Amino acid sequence: MGIMTWIFGNGDLSYEEAKTHFTVWALMKSPLLVSVDLASVTKETLSILTNQEIIAINQDPVVGTAVTPFRWGINADWTKDPAHPAVYWSGQSQNGTVFMLINSLDRPADLSFNLTESPWIRAGRQYTVRDLWAHTSNGTAVRNFTASAVPAHGVVALLMQDAGDEPAGLWPPCSVWEWCTSEDGKPLDRGWGG
């Protein structure tokens, strides 16, 4: 199955797999063409095909670029794993930064990332979180985000919008040793002097 082959509605995908398939197709900015008999589709299938928030990202008249991976596979060092596609994706839209998190495992999983791993997120800021499948506003994310219990082969699609400076009183970025050192333990030059 590639981006040129849309099997949604024509195969044996579970509901979660169908949501994932449609999300990937839409956020990769591929044409949304339906070749199933719409008179015979289930309500679940119709709810996927008519998700206006996902379609709005696909049809964004200002930003025409697709989401791209910012972290690959499931390996501990996030290197490419041919058995598992990229898990963490992001891209721009006219209304904020879009995130797509794909659980390629056969079991539910928590998917976590630091916001600034996406090139479209600025450090020192907080972001409102909109779930594009649940159609809910899920508060504000500061520095990181975790999608809990993402179903097997499921997807999370988010829209994050800048909500101003991060709250005062948080630890500075290098107040924890791991944030200030490279993998070999050498200090990183953050340009803060001292």
Contact indicator for 10, 36 with CB cutoff of 8 Å: yes
Of 173 and 12, the structure prediction assigns the larger pLDDT to: 12
| pLDDT tens column, 103-139 | 999 999 999 999 999 999 998 899 999 999 999 999 9
| pLDDT tens column, 20-49 | 999 999 999 999 888 888 888 889 989 999
Architecture in CATH of 15-165: Sandwich (2.60)
Q: What is the pLDDT of residue 167?
A: 87
Rounded to an integer, the average pLDDT of 133-157 is 97
How confident is residue 183, by pLDDT bands cut at 50, 70 and 90? low
* Res. 176: pLDDT tops 80: no
* Res. 4: pLDDT tops 80: no
Q: What is the pLDDT of residue 194?
A: 39
| pLDDT tens column, 93-106 | 999 999 999 999 99
Q: Where are the domains of the chain?
A: 15-165
Closest CA to 158 of 175, 145, 174: 145
Of 47 and 71, the structure prediction assigns the larger pLDDT to: 47
Mean residue pLDDT across the chain: 85
Q: What is the pLDDT of residue 149?
A: 97
Q: What is the pLDDT of residue 173?
A: 58
